[in-house]
Every structure is written in C-alpha cells, then in structure tokens.
A and B are shown apart, each in its own frame.
Chain A
Amino acid sequence: MEKERGALRLVALDAAAARSGLRVGMALAEARALLPQLLTLEAHPAADADLLRSCAEACEMFTPLVALRGPDGLVLDVTGCVHLFGGEEAMLQRARRRMAAFGLTACAALAGTPDAAWAFARYRRNRVAAPGEDETLARDLPLQALDADSETTLALSRAGFRSLADLAERPSRLLAARFGSGLVERLYRVLGWEDIRLTPLRPLPDIVAEKHFPEPLGHVESLLGVLERLARDVAGPLERRGTGGRAFEASFFRSDGAVRRITMETGAPLRDPATIVRLVKLRIEALADPLDPGFGFDALRLGVLRSEAFAPRQKELDGRDAQADQDRALAALIDRLVARFGRENVRRFIARDTHDPVLAGGTISSLSTHPGASWPEPETGQPPARPLTLFTHPQPIEVLAEVPDSPPLRFRWRRMLHEVTRAEGPERIAPEWWREASPAPATRDYYRIEDQAGHRFWIFREGLYEDRNTQPRWFLHGLFP
C-alpha cells in the first residue's frame, strides 16, 4: 500500500510484507528493490475512515461508549458491561471475532484507562490488565507507547530514556518544562495515574435496553417480538421517572458487523410498548431498502434518545376530556404518518410575521414545536385577497395585450390563452430588504384577475413601469379557488 508525499512511500503493510523486512515509511523504490513481487495499492484515507466508523458502529453492541482514537484505533468504555459477555477475556475475544468479520486483524487490550489500553494494544497485544496491574505493565512499554510526535520521541531516546519507567522516575516538572505538559499528562494516563472520560461517537441515549441472542436471528416477526420485550424494559424506567420518549432508536446488529438503525420521533411523549413496536414496524415497512437479515442478527438494542415529562391523565367522570382524547388521537395519527412517510412530509402551517407571500405561507414539520405568529383576520365582506395555492417559483407568463400600469388583457400561461375579464389591483409588495441578500429583488405589483372561464389568478409585474430601461416581466404566482 502506498501514499504520495514527494516520493511514493509505504503507509501500511500486511503481515507477509512485514516479515519480508519492509517497514512503514519506506520509499516504494526501495521496497521494490527488496521485494520485487510487492503488490501495492493506493492509500485511501477516506475509505479507511469509513471502515473505522462502521467498525465503531459494530462495536456499539458491546457498549454505547465507543470513541475513535487516531486514524486506526477504537476505544470502548466497557465499565459495567463486562459481565454481560462472560468476563473480560471472553469479551476481548468476542470483539476480535467481530472485527475478524470485517476481514481485519485487531490488536486489542483491556486496561484501566483508555490511553493504557491503547498502548497495550500496540505493544502488549491482546492483554487484559487486571485491576491495579496497569502501572507495572506500562512501566516496561517503549517510548512510542506515549503516542507523542516523532520529534519528541527522538529527543527522549537521545536523552537516554528507554522505557516509560525511566520517564516516570523523573520529576514531572522537568519533563513538562522541556516537552510540554501534554507529554506528562499522557504519561500519567498510560500509567493509570490519571483517567479521562471518553467522548462517545454518538450521544448517549437516556435509557437503553438490549438483548443478545445466542444464535443469530433472522425472522423479522421474532425480532419484533424481542423488540416488544425491550420496549417493556424501557417503559419501566420511563414510568418511574414520569417521562415518555420523544425519539427512539432501534439498532439491529447483524452478525457480519453491519448495523442497521431505525430512528423515529413522536409528536407526544410515548411509553406504551405496543405503540412503540407498531411505529418501528411501520418505519421498517416504509424503508426504501428493506431490513436485510443476511445471516441473522446478533443483538438488538432499543434506546430512548430524548424523553420528556409525561403525566398520565386521569379520566374525567363526566366525559369532559373528549378534547384531550381527540388531541391524543391526532398526535397518535401524526406519529403513524411520520413513521410511514417521514418527518419532513407531514407538515402544518406556520404563521410568520412577514408580508413576503412566499415566507408567509410556509409550512414546518408537524413534530416541530415552533409556536409561530397568529393568523391575520380577513376583512369581512370581501373576496379572498390571497390565493389558495402559491407557486414556490413564480411562473413566467407571456403577456399579449398590455396596458400601461394595468393588468394585461390577455396572457398565455402553459400554452393556454387566458382572456382577462375582471381585475383588481395593483397591490404593491416591496421586498423585505432587511431579510434579502443584496441586491434586493424588484418591487412587485400584484393583481387579482379572472379569466373568461372563471379561473382566478394572482399575477404580478416585476419592476416599476416608470423604469423605462427594462421591459417589465409578468409572472403568475398563485391560484384562487
């Protein structure tokens, strides 16, 4: 494998190449001289990063706390998860097997701090450090285990240091003065004197329930059955906290390492297991690429990504809660529609305080809680002044009989000729220059017109008639009922 940096250099090797005496960083010409039958491939850092990310996702079946470390490392915080996998040794084996499913040979280690584990994975392969054993093991590590830049490592080795034990014996003040406090911190972390918290790849769910299967499971119906049990498991804590979930995520861990996540949002807090499962099922049915079981799923996890206070309502004796029932029924309907058709397709109108027709008629997702302005009250005794439907992009029309400062007598829209029989206007709508980027669009003169067939249109002329230099252009912007 190779990479360009002035000259072509090797950036990674497989085991056979390493045995033949090649080293990372060697120029390609040199490597070819040593090993004429060398096969090389162009390095592909973006693809490597993608692979690492999918490995990280596959590792989320061990713990939700997974972080990337450097270009080729993963750090998992397995505190409290170990017993689920039959001990540390067994868990390490299982993680290595999982990586083997990707065709990778992983160097893994388990230790008290992330930095120590990383160093052991590099220099004490596949080692599980027992509690309290970190420091003694780390003392023997070479200087490279600090993961410092090459100049620092070189400077340290020139100064006569061989292992971390040598460094640990020096006063930290001196090291910090020469190499910066970063090196000292790293040393302390590798030695297990200091711990840090991982920043996980994805935000932690509020509540998680999961189930690992002894055998891969491929049948969707049985998976949904498991999911219902998980939903009952999360409903318990939700109820004790007096909350309900607003966003859920079901993760399906396939045995070959692929992870399929299904997220869904609800309009109101929810904790009823049957409803949760029904929404997941709708979501699965609506997927463009169906849930492919392959050789089956290893594990299933249901997480509550976001929760909100949710107080169960007591039924009124006189049935006055019809309104609340209706609201609940509507919220449940919107949840089902969102699960089936996607969040952005289920919309409601939102009033905005603007006179720009396009902005004023906006819609937002029904799940959004944006309050919005209030709707203007129409004037009584007048016909509608605004069209029922509006084109996002005004449609150009060809005006055949134009009268200065009046609506056209005849125009062509979509190849149809319309004779204007009634008209009202103009209503001048100037652009909101404080919103628009410069240059501000032209002022528009809107007319309500009706043609001989009784169709009513909202058209406008762009620009002012006084402006003699430009030919005014006409557009159709909306349709009246």
Chain B
Amino acid sequence: MPAAHPTLERAAIHEFYAGRTADAAPLSGCMLALGQILSGDRPSLWVRQEAFDWEAGRPHAPGLCEFGLDPARFTILHVKDAIAALQAGLEGARCAGLGAVLLELWGEAPAYDLTASRRLALAARASGVPVLISRIAAKARPSAAETRWELRALPSRALAAQAPGFPAFELALLRARNGREGLHYALEWNRDDRQFLPRTTSDIAPAGPVLPPLPGAVVSVSFDRPRAPEPDFPRREAG
C-alpha cells in the first residue's frame, strides 16, 4: 500500500513534468508545496526561466501567502535560458544553507542533459539540498533524477455555491530509482497545515456548468462515477 502522499528523498533531484502548458501554475504550485515540505522554513532559491513569466505570469507574493508559503523565504532569479538556469541551480545546490532549489525550465532545454543533471545530483548529494525541477512543453529525457513525476491539475472539490475549492493535483510517478513506477496520487493541498491530503476518486466530481446564482438552483454531484479525465458534462447554451 503506497503512502497517502509522495515522500521525496532530500539530497536528490526530482523532476515534475506537465504535458499541457495550461498546467504551468499548478506545476509551480505543486513544486513549491513539495519544496515547502522538504525545506521547512529554510530559505529557498527559485530559478525561473523568463518564458514562465510570459506564459504564466510572474510569481505573486500575496498568492504565495495564500498558498501557505512565506514569501520572505524565497530568493527569485529570473534567467533567460536553461543554461543560465542550470548554472544558478548548481550554485544553489552547492550552498548547504538552502532548504531547496526550485528550477523551472520551459521547453526542450537541450542544455539539461544527462551530464548537467548528474552534476546537479552530485552537488545535491554533497550538500543535502533537494533540487526540484519542473519542466513544461518538454519530452522526458534520461537524467540523474531520483524520481520523475507527471502532473495534472485536478478539478477541485467545490465549496458552497460552486466556489472553487482547495488546489488539487494528480501526480503520476513516471520513473523512480527505487523502481516503484506507476504510483498514482490524487492530492489536495492544505495550506493551513502545509500538508498534502489524499483525495479519493469519489471526491472528484465531474464538473458541471456553473449557474447564475438563482435561488433554488442546485447542481447535483454524483459520487458513484469513476474519475474521468475529460468528463462529458452537459452543455448549456448561453443566452
């Protein structure tokens, strides 16, 4: 029986892939959350390739607070390309005072090859600083990473009046050094406890269209259907 949420080894590289560019913000969020779990209240270096800022906006401090993280812990470095990001990441991975190094690479990034990742992994092992790398718009390539995950955003559990709920993610373990591939987690981030909570598949209600707030209008939530990646929900024509 796997643990309720992923436990990551410190002093190693962990990669997070997202297939869809729209998953950029959930990808950052999930990486930050795991970084928080790994680093506690120690400072973190967050290296962000500029493409992330263009595609998904710049990191927003009030949003970090609302996500349960302390913005004062972060040093952000905006870099142009993957080479600069990797150099900065290596500097960070060698600095034992850090809690975590978070690297965000956009696109195929040929600079991030086996040699570069091994260099990072060695630095991480020597200093004990975990290196989390999130990649988007890229195919998975061989690397020295301890684990490799694929991430998708999950529809949240709706709160009262169909309000969006807590951030929810789906993590699939693509590759692991210890050979436990195929693990699958549906997680919800609780910012008050800074913890991931497992979500059972029954929680994942198929999303229905939002209704204008009319009295008495209730959208039924079915609990018996299996989780469907692209639920075929009824469409409402506007107007």
Q: Which residues of A contact B (CB under 8 A)?
A: 325-330, 332-334, 336-337, 340-341, 345-351, 357, 360-363, 366, 375-378, 380-381, 383-392, 400-403, 406-407, 409-410, 416, 419-424, 448-450, 452-456, 478-481
Contacts and interface: CB of A to CB of B under 8 A. Distances in A.
A375 B97 contact: no
B6 interface: no
B216 interface: no
A392 B58 contact: yes
A452 B207 contact: yes
Contact of B77 (A327, A330, A341, A407): A341
Interface in B203-219: 207-210, 212-213
Contacts of B72: 348-349, 375
B109 interface: no
Contact of A349 (B61, B96, B237, B239): B61
4 shortest interchain CB distances as A-B pairs:
A481-B29, A401-B238, A329-B97, A479-B25
Given A340-B88, A345-B77, A360 B61 contact: yes
B153 interface: yes
A385 B64 CA distance: 10
Contacts of A378: 65-66, 68, 191
Given A421-B207, A481-B167, 12 more contacts: A337-B75, A345-B77, A346-B75, A361-B59, A383-B164, A388-B28, A388-B60, A389-B24, A419-B209, A422-B162, A478-B57, A481-B32
B95 A388 contact: no
A424 B163 contact: yes
Contact of A481 (B28, B155, B239): B28
B92 interface: yes
Contacts of B212: 403, 406
Interface string B72-110: 101111110000100110011001111000000000000
Given A336-B91, A347-B75, A348-B72, A480 B164 contact: yes
A341 B79 contact: yes
A77 to B, nearest CB: 42
Given A366-B75, A424-B164, A479 B56 contact: yes
Nearest to B67: A384
B25 A480 contact: yes
Interface string B101-142: 000000000000000000000000000000000000000000
Interface in B198-239: 207-210, 212-213, 230-231, 233, 235-239
Contacts of B84: 341
Nearest to A476: B57
A345 B213 CA distance: 45
Interface of B: 20, 22-26, 28-30, 32-33, 42-43, 45, 56-68, 70-72, 74-79, 84, 87-88, 91-92, 95-98, 152-156, 158-159, 161-169, 189, 191-192, 207-210, 212-213, 230-231, 233, 235-239
B97 A330 contact: yes
B98 A384 contact: no
Contacts of A326: 42-43, 97
Contacts of A328: 97
Contacts of A453: 20, 22, 153, 155, 230
A201 B207 CA distance: 68
Given A340-B87, A407-B210, A456-B164, A329 B45 contact: no
B44 to A, nearest CB: 10
Contacts of A333: 45, 75, 91-92, 95, 97-98
A449 B97 contact: no
Contacts of B33: 481
Contacts of A454: 26, 152-156, 168, 207
A475 to B, nearest CB: 12
Contact of A375 (B24, B60, B71, B213): B71
A375 B163 CA distance: 25
B189 to A, nearest CB: 7
Nearest to B237: A401
B186 to A, nearest CB: 11
Given A409-B210, A410-B238, A421-B208, A478 B164 contact: no
A365 B75 CA distance: 9
B63 A389 contact: yes
29 contacts: A326-B43, A329-B95, A330-B95, A330-B98, A333-B92, A341-B88, A348-B74, A350-B61, A375-B62, A383-B156, A383-B167, A389-B57, A390-B58, A400-B238, A401-B236, A401-B237, A421-B155, A422-B158, A422-B162, A422-B163, A423-B210, A424-B163, A448-B164, A450-B207, A454-B155, A480-B29, A480-B63, A481-B25, A481-B28
A168 B78 CA distance: 66
A453 to B, nearest CB: 7
Contacts of A325: 97
A81 B79 CA distance: 44
A377 B56 CA distance: 25
A164 B199 CA distance: 97
Contacts of B65: 375-378, 386
B26 A421 contact: no
A480 B92 CA distance: 27
Nearest to A405: B212
Contacts of A478: 57, 60, 63
Contacts of A341: 77, 79, 84, 88
Contact of A420 (B43, B166, B210): B210
Contacts of B23: 455
Contacts of A386: 60, 62-63, 65-66
A96 B4 CA distance: 79
Contact of B22 (A336, A376, A409, A455): A455
B102 to A, nearest CB: 13
Nearest to B57: A389
Contacts of A385: 66
